[in-house]
Amino acid sequence: MIAHLINTDVGNRGVIGVYLDYRRENPNFLHNSAKMLLDNYGRVLIVTGFPIPPMMRAETDGPPGALALAKAVGAIGGRAEILTYPEVGEALKPFGVDIVDNPEISDYSLVIAVETPGRTAHGKYYSMSGMEITRGAFDWAVLEARKLGIPTVGIGDGGNEAGMGRIRDLIVRHVPHGERIASTVETDELILSAVSNWGAYGLVAEVSIEFGKNLLAGWDEGNVVRAMSGAGLIDGVSKTLAPTVDGISLEVHEGMVELLKSLIDEALR
């Protein structure tokens, strides 16, 4: 149910075909990702931030999801740190999370990438519209973790993010510009979603059910998204400085979170 919900293609971006094909082969991807987090929450590195061409300003999709995950890790007794761009770090600091600039990957028990660019087959990075991203990326953290045997989880919505290399063939098949933009960076587990924030919230929801506590109970989506926009992050679709995510109104995002909260409460009755 949660996996279907977070893949509701409200923005009509055509990602539903990727999800349906992926789910046929990986029906338990959300449970598997939750188990990986619950088995490795001691010290978690969360990587987020996606620069939008041509201004290369980070977008509002990704950082809220990273924040929700960091809060969830802390609530179950672990420690989370976030690797991201300076403007995203400034936007997140008021929420009391730890931001790192040069993490030593070997120090972590788990690496989660939430909406952050993954390099293509020829080493470049692209937006969903096929525009080149010329700002530095953080997918190296995922690649280093995999070399070291540290578990990794990827969360994305378009095919150009770290983690999506796991299903590059589906991205090429279903997504416009897929051959050009498809990431080759794989993760051990991969969560697909229509909006990457929703993928992170879906992971928190699944962890909540399996852990036995509603870890989204105090989450205020409106407050977080408005704070991100107020700090200068832009909507990745409209490319405007607005309290929206992926061109979808804030009311829809708030509704998604409230529904997830209710589903967790129902499962825990």
Identify the CATH number of the domain in which residue 161 sits: 3.90.1640.20
Q: What is the pLDDT of residues 91-137, one digit of tens each?
A: 999 999 999 999 999 999 999 999 999 999 999 999 999 999 999 99
Q: What letter represents residue 189's amino acid?
A: E
Domain that residue 173 falls in: 1-268
Q: What is the number of structural domains in the chain?
A: 1
Question: Which segments of the chain have a pLDDT < 70?
Answer: none
CA 36 to CA 59: how far, in whole Å?
Answer: 27
Give pTM, 2 decimals: 0.97
Q: What pLDDT is attached to residue 101?
A: 95
Q: What pLDDT is attached to residue 131?
A: 96
CA 143 to CA 164: how far, in whole Å?
Answer: 13
CA 42 to chain centre: 20
